[in-house]
Amino acid sequence: MKVQIYGAGISGSYLYHLLDQDGFEVSIYDVRSKPDCRCAWGFSYSETKELYKKIGINVDEFLLSKPKYVIVNNRLWLKNKEIVILDKKRLMEELWSFELKDEGGDVVVDATGHSRAILPKIENDAIYTTVQNVEKHDLDENIYIYMVKTGYAWAFPLGDGRWHIGAGDMSRERALELVKKLREVYEIEEVEGECNCIGKIRLLPPSKCKPIVWNNVYGVGEAIGCVSGAGEGNAPSLKCAKIFYDCLVENKLEEYEKRVLEEFWWIEVEHEFVSAVQTGKKLKALRLLPKIIPIESRRSVEQSFETIKSLLGLLKQ
């Protein structure tokens, strides 16, 4: 059986190596000639380490920073447990040891992220715009967030005084406005960046990204909504690729969609929570909190009912 992967981002490149090392006939193609370097370098450590170990990668060799706190709106300080910043550019460059080939296959994987270039388009898709800069600043190594109901701006430390500064919201203008607020709130100067770019992110859970499977095409990663309500898509996309690989190896591809929906129940809950917050359904948001807290305490920061409740109070439109 020949497998053709489209998209050599985080999930596609990982899936390629899982299959290749097992002797599968597999090829991979990307519209880029070199890996995407956008600032998406925050990873949930334990899950990422475990998954990459399966293709012989030790993520500790790519570790740039383990921020102490995630600070929200300069009011809420959440102790970081699991978020690490990895040198994703170097990691992806290492993984791109393959030659890009578009040869087709008996099984086709759409791992093209927000583009979802192979699977049919999603009705009522939710694609947000992001802006990103790399800048130098003298700040303590925390993650600085400025959050409103519809999006947030961030400053992620890359070590050696370098920072990813960016934001995501419903439009470029709103994202730029959020970066401005982030600078004001944390007194981060506007300086000449090393580079800047615009990106996109899909914020819909897997159940709303159907079809997940279409004829012989299987969606993997962000193409089928493996991104949390907080915009975490790296580890979930890797996990999704691993589910696909398991189904293929076990000769149970017919179970793929079911396994994806079961695994990512927590992404469904997070999106429900975000939607309740955005539409002002405060009671519903509060009711979901007991489910959200253990999820995020496991994969990102220490939090309690009280801290998250106070976060809700901090959010403006």
Ligand X SMILES: Cc1cc2nc3c(=O)[nH]c(=O)nc-3n(C[C@H](O)[C@H](O)[C@H](O)COP(=O)(O)OP(=O)(O)OC[C@H]3O[C@@H](n4cnc5c(N)ncnc54)[C@H](O)[C@@H]3O)c2cc1C
Quote the CA–CA distance of 283 and 286 in Å, as a whole number. Answer: 5
Per-residue binding letters, 80-109, with ligand X (x by CB under 6 A): ------------------------------
Quote the CA–CA distance of 197 and 195 in Å, as a whole number. Answer: 7
Please work out the total of residues on this chain that contact ligand X, with binding judged by CB under 6 A. 36
Of 17-25, 39-47, 250-258, 272-280, the window that binds ligand X (rule: CB under 6 A) is 39-47
Of 74-82, 113-121, 243-251, 305-313, the window that binds ligand X (rule: CB under 6 A) is 113-121
111: contact with ligand X by CB under 6 A: yes
Of positions 73, 112, 150, 303, contacts ligand X by CB under 6 A: 112
Of 59-67, 172-180, 227-235, 271-279, the window that binds ligand X (rule: CB under 6 A) is 227-235
Quote the CA–CA distance of 247 and 254 in Å, as a whole number. Answer: 8
Q: Judged by CB, which is closer to ligand X: 269, or 282?
A: 269
300: contact with ligand X by CB under 6 A: no
**Structure tokens given for 298:** 């496991």
225: contact with ligand X by CB under 6 A: no
Quote the CA–CA distance of 34 and 256 in Å, as a whole number. Answer: 30
41: contact with ligand X by CB under 6 A: yes
Of positions 206, 225, 229, 233, contacts ligand X by CB under 6 A: 233
**Structure tokens given for 91:** 């990691």
Q: Judged by CB, which is closer to ligand X: 177, or 306?
A: 177
204: contact with ligand X by CB under 6 A: no
Of 57-65, 110-118, 140-148, 290-298, the window that binds ligand X (rule: CB under 6 A) is 110-118
Per-residue binding letters, 125-154, with ligand X (x by CB under 6 A): -----x-x----------------------
46: contact with ligand X by CB under 6 A: no
Q: How far is the CB of 244 from ligand X (least distance, A)?
A: 12
227: contact with ligand X by CB under 6 A: yes
Q: Please give the residue ranges that form the binding site for ligand X (CB under 6 A).
A: 6-12, 29-32, 36, 38-42, 111-113, 115, 117, 130, 132, 166, 199, 201, 221-223, 227, 231-234, 237
